A and B are shown apart, each in its own frame.
Chain A
Amino acid sequence: MYEFDWSSIPGALPTLARGLLVTLQVTLVAVAVGIAWGTALAVARLSPQAWLRWPAAAYVNLFRSVPLVMVILWFYLVVPQLLRRFLGVSSATDIRMVSALAAFALFESAYYAEIIRAGIQSVPKGQLDAALALGLTPAQAMRRVVLPQAFRNMLPLLLTQAIILFQDTSLVYVIGLADFFGAAYKVGDRDGRLVELVLFAGLVYFLASLAASALVRRLRRRVTA
């Protein structure tokens, strides 16, 4: 029978906290960029202009058709080369954080774009007609009338996607970035207490996601009410 020994956790808390900070950082940046860039992609996909529609559709379909873990790895392998060549970043700079942020932000944008596109389509066409009839340009109508209603309708879905993203950030372990999961793994490996540390990390992910899901349920009730 395996004997649990949790004694290495209290001493490791500062390391784990630093890891959690990386996890939150990647999550927040990916959500913020994902929603902003995803909105642009969604509007482009719904545009009457083919030259906007096609590249946006290609982007979204490409990123939705490849595994996230591969995107993270590609960015890690390719981005540093590009940065070094074009920006003259020295090879000593830790490029893992930058490439992880870029990979998550660009990958999640594709998923956010689909959620936001559905949200825009959930706003009745009469609303757009009314905004245009008042003399608003299509861009003003989108910004002032359609998008505010679309975001209100899709807020629960956006947050659900953020929870999935929060869990998916653990995939940065493939490039050796010490996020919360990576930090837990390292401490466990060092102290020979991998089972305890990974269980503990799982519990933290579980509780955080559970709390966020409860928030989403409350929001959903308010939105549908």
Chain B
Amino acid sequence: MPKEYIYENYRIGRGDEVSGKDYLLYRFYEILPGFLSWLTIILAVVCSYLLPLYTAIFIIAFDVFWLLKTAYLSLHLKENWKRIKEHLSTDWVEKLVHFKYDHIYHMIMLPFYKEDEKLIEKTLKSLLNCDYNSKRLIIVLAAEARAGKEPLEIAARMNKKFGKEFGHFLVTVHPDGIVGEMAGKGSNISYAAEEARKLVLDKKKIPYDDVLVSAFDIDTIVYSQYFACLTWMFLANENPYNTSFQPVPVFNNNIFEAPAISRVVAFSGTFWQMVQQERQKRMATFSSHSVAFSTLYKVGYWQSNMVSEDSRIFWNCYMKFNGNYIVTPMAYPVSMDANLAHSFWQTMKNIYKQQRRWAYGVENFAYIMFNFSKNQNIPKWEKFKIFIINVDGYWSLATNPLMIFLLGWLPIILGGREFNTTMVSFNLPYITRDIMMITMSNLILSSMVAVSLMPSVPETKKRVKKFYHIIQWLLVPLTITIFGAIPALDAQTRLMFGRYMGFWVTPKHRSE
């Protein structure tokens, strides 16, 4: 008889936290994504040398597959774009009239490290300016002890300035060096949520079921009706405690200051989230998200022993509720900062590091598979589907751009003289080029969506800037390779060799 699954026993951060057979199994799943990606790349090279003709056929088929996949994803993008526009023009406050919602509180987690005071102030002002009763907002400004004195002074000043404007304003200081924790956002907001429970909810006797927690980044700026929209979706949901609410992150805060590469990478991330919003069953939470406090409390908050707490919280809930958990796509945006540093090269480095950290979400794969092996309450077919979705996701991210833009030439380089006299050898670069040109036409839609999601060009910026915002999309082959495939491969390789990554805080910078 299989052992009963106790979720709390398996909140594992990385392979070396378990031992014996469990260690081997967990490590196997940590190795698998990287192994598959490297196997693909090595096979592409070896087959180009040994079987150039068959490799050429595979490349042509793969190019067509990629073209059709891009078209398929573009249809989702277009659909979500329509929904976002519709949701942005909806009066959610008006819609809420049909519900009793005065009892709902919103707890907003704002973790910060060493960010600028002005940036924090702007975030708090945006919360205050929302079309929602600010007295129903519980602000949790979560500082880190390891960041030194200055952040604590900033937090105190913010408390003084905004404390009385909101229902509750709590400043928490996450202690440094707690055993078993990884310094990062997950450990900070978990500590802050527990403090908020004790110091606000329990003290004021606010039922956990009536509190919706929004885990934001410190640069997250909400659109005016975000909380009204979130409240409506929560109240209208059939299973509001078995779902997380996912807005669409757009990186608009400093979009006119960020360089073209940064803008393209940022919008690519937004587009991916928009596509995922239309594929609910493939969704996990990402970056800023919202969830009922009672649900969070049941799962023990965000995991504090790993990097990708934002997506892991979904899988924690999924395991805790034996698969009866889903993400509700809000099709409503929140605005964040695009990567921007003091110099161009520093911006490039930061983009790479941020993409690598996001790609390190591959650590969830081992967690999911390991928990699947323990939890017999989830149907096998469901487990298989999730296995395939995840393997395809990680594999595609790390290998597809390389296969499309680089490896397509390998049979010609390595195929030898005999292959290089065939029609297929001479046709391969032309066919690949033509298919890529058709695929790139999807970027017209991307540029239209991006321009429509951007704020209007400020007076200070030249009109020509708008033109750059359209032609910047020609950088996509470069960005998805250098800031997509390579950091993903980097992250998978680190995990594969057990060189676990720590949490890297993306520096926030905005031009004056």
To the question of whether A and B form a pair in one complex, the answer is: no
B residues apposed to A, CB below 8 Å: none
